[in-house]
Amino acid sequence: MTPRTDHRMAFLAGCSTTAAVALAVLLLTGAARESVTGRFSEITVGRINIEEPDGTRRMVISNRAQFPGAFHEGREIARPDRRHVAGMLFINDEGTENGGLIQNGSVVGGTVKAGLSLTFDRFRQDQALQLLHTDQGKMSTSAMIVNDIADADVAVSGSITTFRDEAAKLLAGERPAYWAKLQAEGKLSQPRIYLGTSRDRASALSLHDAAGKPRLRLMVSAAGEPVIQMLDEAGKVVRSVTP
């Protein structure tokens, strides 16, 4: 092989290497991701982050080990208390958590600890609607829960994430008073409707007032005994209707 041929082969090899590196960089940086599609019969992953073209995260599907924290305006906030569940989080247009589906199930010390929860949040606030199932072996409940979420301007009232951040800065003994003050100001969610089963296997519909206090209950016991209860502000039954 002549020296000129050697130079030409070296040049071509260099071009091939450069092209391969360039393609790898494009794929790794995501610059070419819009043009990459595929069909798979099965895929196994630990976590999937679904994002908009501008990088705004919209949904996370994750196992327990990689489950994310809470999202607020594009910022992820650590929530180590969530590391016992797997599922998915919904995230709105601005990058704030908007609800999700979580589930877990295990036997700890011979006792079942399991549950599923599907929630839908009000904008920048807490959950307005929840489908919930909990199982502790001998006791389990299933319910639909409707909450009344503060409707004041979010810029003024603050978000549930803001409240949690502020509470974390306080001493442990000061936090109950802080949360009680927010409750009195109407900035926290209040339960309004509970429809489901109870720990004693009764079926129940409980209606609450704007302060979250139960005022009317319709129940059927496990033995089939129906009752309607009317309650005052203190939670005392003032009238019962039975067969």
Contact 202, 220 (CB under 8 A): yes
pLDDT of residue 183: 80
Higher pLDDT, residue 215 or 183: 215
Per the model's pLDDT, the better-predicted residue between 241 and 81 turns out to be: 241
pLDDT tens by residue, 76-127: 888 888 888 999 999 999 999 999 999 999 998 888 999 999 999 988 888 8
Q: Mean pLDDT lowest for which of 69-78, 110-119, 158-167?
A: 158-167
- Predicted confidence (pLDDT) at residue 139 exceeds the cutoff of 90: no
Q: Measured between alpha carbons, how far is 177 from 191 in angstroms, rounded to an integer? A: 20
Residue tagged 């299933």 (tokens): 142
Task: Indicate the range of 31-40, 131-140, 144-153, 202-211 predicted with least confidence.
Answer: 31-40
Quote the tokens at residue 146. Answer: 């409707």
pTM for the whole thing? 0.75
Q: What is the mean pLDDT of residues 4-27?
A: 51
pLDDT per residue over 203-217, tens digit each? 999 999 988 899 999
Under DSSP, is residue 134 helix (H, G, I), strand (E, B) or coil?
strand
3-state helix, strand, coil split of the chain in percent (to 5) is 25, 40, 35
Helix (H, G, I), strand (E, B) or coil at 44: coil
Q: Distance between CA atoms of 143 and 33, rounded to whole angstroms?
A: 42
Between CA 93 and CA 74 the distance in angstroms is 9
DSSP element (H, E) containing 3: helix 3-29
204 vs 207: CA distance, rounded Å: 10
Cα–Cα distance measured from residue 53 to residue 40, given in angstroms and rounded to the nearest whole number: 22
Q: What's the confidence (pLDDT) of residue 125?
A: 84
Determine the pLDDT at residue 138: 85
Model pLDDT, residue 158: 59
pLDDT at 21 over 70: no
Task: Read off the amino acid at residue 205.
Answer: L
Q: Virtual CA dihedral for 159, 160, 165, 166, nearest 10 degrees?
A: 80
**Residue 73's pLDDT is what?**
86
Rounded mean pLDDT of 188-203?
A: 92
